[in-house]
Amino acid sequence: MQALRTSSKEDRYSGCGMDIARDGVRYAARRYPEARWCVANVAQDILFADGSVDVALSIFAPRFSAVIHRIMARHGLLLIVVPGPAHLTALRDQAMADVRDTGHKVQQELDKLLPHFNLVDQSSLTYPMTLKQPDLQHLYLMTPIYWRSTREARESIKNTPTMDITTDFIILTLTPKIST
């Protein structure tokens, strides 16, 4: 968010974040107090004026392209972050979760977005990290992997002191299609 503020050509930056989870909004508000935060379900609608958003960022969240398109400025930028195929594979393997193939995720997202947006760029960001407890447990609890795990797998992760994991993100950069 600081990078967006710094790169703003005009001194009119304001940020607003939304999440359906109250805990997520509380955390974000503490981390980024300069932005406004609210609990909202973007599946319904987003209470912004048409064409009022210059940059929208969606990280691992459901997207509703018609709603986002409505609020985007003509030359706005939409950044979408989805998990790549190697995202948290070590955690998924140890959790013995019903691992879903995420290889189709990018195309699935593009199929939803391309009626309203043009794809400008697609890049990936992959890096390894070592997590210790309790950070490993915190990460595990906030992923869908946890909900697909058996009780035994949950105990196994809880009792794992450290884990080498890979984070793998695919970043899509899009611009709104201009209606004629």
**Domain span holding position 50:** 41-176
Q: What pLDDT does residue 17 have?
A: 82
Which residue from 170, 37, 50 is spatially nearest to 110, judged by alpha carbons?
170
For the chain, 180 residues long, give each residue's pLDDT as a single digit of tens: 566 666 666 666 677 888 888 888 898 889 888 888 888 887 777 888 999 988 888 888 877 788 889 989 999 999 999 999 999 999 999 887 566 666 677 888 889 899 999 999 999 999 999 999 999 999 999 888 898 899 999 999 999 999 999 999 999 999 999 876
How many domains does the chain contain in total? 2
* Residues 135 and 152 placed together within one structural domain of the fold: yes
114 and 137 in a single domain? The answer is: yes
Same domain? 15 vs 85: no
At position 69, the amino acid (one-letter code) is H
Residue 34 has a pLDDT of 83
CB 25 within 8 A of CB 38: yes
Write down the pTM of the prediction.
Answer: 0.82
Query: What pLDDT shows up at residue 38?
Result: 85
Pair 16, 61 in one domain: no
Determine the pLDDT at residue 99: 60
Do residues 75 and 149 share a domain?
Answer: yes
Measure CA of the first residue to CA of the last residue in the chain; give whole Å: 32
Close Cβ partners of 74 (under 8 Å, ≥ 6 residues apart): 51, 176, 178
pLDDT value of position 2: 62
Positive or negative: CA dihedral 108, 89, 154, 141: negative
